[in-house]
Amino acid sequence: MGHWRGLLELLYLVLLGWTLVRGQAETDLKLDKEGVEVEDPSGTVKNVELQISCPEKCSCSGEGAVDCNGVSLTEFPQDLSEETRQLSLQNNQITEVTLEHLSRLQQLETLNLQNNRLTTQGLDDEGFHILERLSYLYLANNKLTTAPRHLPPSLVSADFAANQLTKIFPNTFGQKPALKSVYLHNNKLTDAGLPENMFNGSDNLEILIMSSNFLRYVPKGLPTALFRLHLKLTTAPRHLPPSLVSADFAANQLTKIFPNTFGQKPALKSVYLHNNKLTDAGLPENMFNGSDNLEILIMSSNFLRYVPKGLPTALFRLHLKNNKLEKIPAGAFDNLFHLRELYLQNNFLSNDGMDNETFSQLNSLEYLDLSNNNLSTVPLGLPRNLILLHLEKNSIQSITVNALTPIRNLEYLLLHNNRLRSRSIHPAAFQGLKRLHTVHMYNNLLERVPRGLPRRAKTLMLLHNLISEIGRNDLIMLYTLTELNLSYNRLTSAKLHREAFRKLRILETLDLSGNKLQTLPLGLPKSLQVLKVKDNQMVEIPEGALMGMSSLRELYLTNNQLKLNSIYQGAWQELSTLTTLDLSGNMLSHIPSDLPESLEFLHLQNNRISSISATAFLNTPNIKSIFLRFNRLSVHSVSEESFSHLSKLQVLDIGHGNISPNRGKAGEQVEEVEEELPYAEEEEKHS
Ligand SMILES: *[C@@H]1O[C@H](CO)[C@@H](O)[C@H](O)[C@H]1NC(C)=O
Ligand SMILES: *[C@@H]1O[C@H](CO)[C@@H](O)[C@H](O)[C@H]1NC(C)=O
Ligand SMILES: *[C@@H]1O[C@H](CO)[C@@H](O)[C@H](O)[C@H]1NC(C)=O
Ligand SMILES: *[C@@H]1O[C@H](CO)[C@@H](O)[C@H](O)[C@H]1NC(C)=O
Ligand SMILES: *[C@@H]1O[C@H](CO)[C@@H](O)[C@H](O)[C@H]1NC(C)=O
Per-residue pLDDT tens digits for 570-588: 899 889 999 999 999 999 9
pLDDT for 180 beyond 60:
yes
| Between 664 and 147, the higher pLDDT residue | 147
Tell me the chain's radius of gyration from C-alpha atoms: 37
Residue 436: other Cβ atoms inside 10 A: 24
Lowest mean pLDDT among 1-15, 467-481, 552-566: 1-15
Q: State the pLDDT at residue 15.
A: 25
Closest CA to 97 of 120, 79, 81: 120
Cα–Cα distance for residue pair 375/389, rounded to 1 Å: 14
- Does domain 1-38+55-232 match CATH 3.40.190.10? no
Q: Residue 398 Cα, ligand 4 centroid: separation in angstroms?
A: 16
Cα–Cα distance for residue pair 296/318, rounded to 1 Å: 6
Give the number of the ligand closest to the Cα of residue 169.
Answer: 1
Give the number of the ligand closest to the Cα of residue 199.
Answer: 1
Q: Residue 259 Cα, ligand 2 centroid: separation in angstroms?
A: 9
* Strand-strand pairing, 59-60 and 65-67: antiparallel
Choose which residue among 487, 529, 580 to substitute to test ligand 5 binding: the one with the highest number of ligand atoms within 8 A of its C-beta.
Answer: 487
For residues 396-405, one letter each, b for 16 or more C-beta atoms within 10 angstroms of the residue's C-beta and e for the rest, the string is: bbbbeeebbb
| Between 517 and 643, the higher pLDDT residue | 517
Q: State the pLDDT at residue 558.
A: 98
Atom of ligand 5 nearest to the CA of 532: 13
Give the number of the ligand closest to the Cα of residue 416.
Answer: 5
Could you tell me if the CB of 200 is within 6 A of ligand 1? yes
Angle, alpha carbons 269-274-275 (nearest 5°): 160
Q: State the pLDDT at residue 372.
A: 98
Cα–Cα distance for residue pair 20/362, rounded to 1 Å: 38
Q: State the pLDDT at residue 281.
A: 94
Give the number of the ligand closest to the Cα of residue 406.
Answer: 3
Chain center to CA of 336: 29
Residue 568: other Cβ atoms inside 10 A: 17
Phi, psi of 409 (to 5 degrees): -95, 5
Lowest mean pLDDT among 125-134, 141-150, 587-596: 125-134
Q: Provide the 8-state DSSP code for 114.
A: -
- 309-367 pLDDT, tens digit per residue, is 889 999 999 999 999 999 999 999 999 999 999 999 999 999 999 999 999 899 999 99
Which residue lies with its CA nearest to atom 4 of ligand 3? 356
Cα–Cα distance for residue pair 260/254, rounded to 1 Å: 15
Q: Which of 5-19, 324-338, 522-536, 652-666 has the highest mean pLDDT?
A: 522-536
Choose which residue among 374, 375, 378 to substitute to test ligand 4 binding: the one with the highest number of ligand atoms within 8 A of its C-beta.
Answer: 374
Cα–Cα distance for residue pair 421/431, rounded to 1 Å: 18
Closest CA to 159 of 186, 194, 126: 186
- Which of 381-385's residues contact partners 24+ apart within 8 Å by CB, and which partners? 381/355, 381/356, 381/357, 382/406, 382/407, 383/359, 383/407, 384/408, 384/409, 385/409
Cβ atoms of 122 and 146 closer than 8 Å: no
SS (H, E, C) 15-58: CCCHHHHHHHHHHHHHHHHHHCCCCCCCCHHHHHHHHCCCCCCC
pLDDT band at 507 (very low <50, low <70, confident <90, very high): very high
pLDDT band at 4 (very low <50, low <70, confident <90, very high): very low
Whole-model pTM: value is 0.66
Q: Average pLDDT over the chain, rounded to whole?
A: 84
Q: Residue 532 Cα, ligand 5 centroid: separation in angstroms?
A: 9
Which residues have CB under 6 Å of ligand 2?
Answer: 259, 285-286, 289-290
pLDDT for 510 beyond 70:
yes
For residues 653-664, one letter each, b for 16 or more C-beta atoms within 10 angstroms of the residue's C-beta and e for the rest, the string is: bbbeebbbeeee
Q: Residue 658 Cα, ligand 2 centroid: separation in angstroms?
A: 83
* Helix then strand then coil, % of the chain, to nearest 5: 15, 15, 70
Atom of ligand 5 nearest to the CA of 510: 13
Cα–Cα distance for residue pair 615/643, rounded to 1 Å: 9
| Between 10 and 153, the higher pLDDT residue | 153
Q: Residue 357 Cα, ligand 3 centroid: separation in angstroms?
A: 7
Cβ atoms of 445 and 422 closer than 8 Å: no
Could you tell me if the CB of 201 is within 6 A of ligand 1? yes
- 6-40 pLDDT, tens digit per residue, is 333 323 332 222 222 333 333 333 323 322 233 33
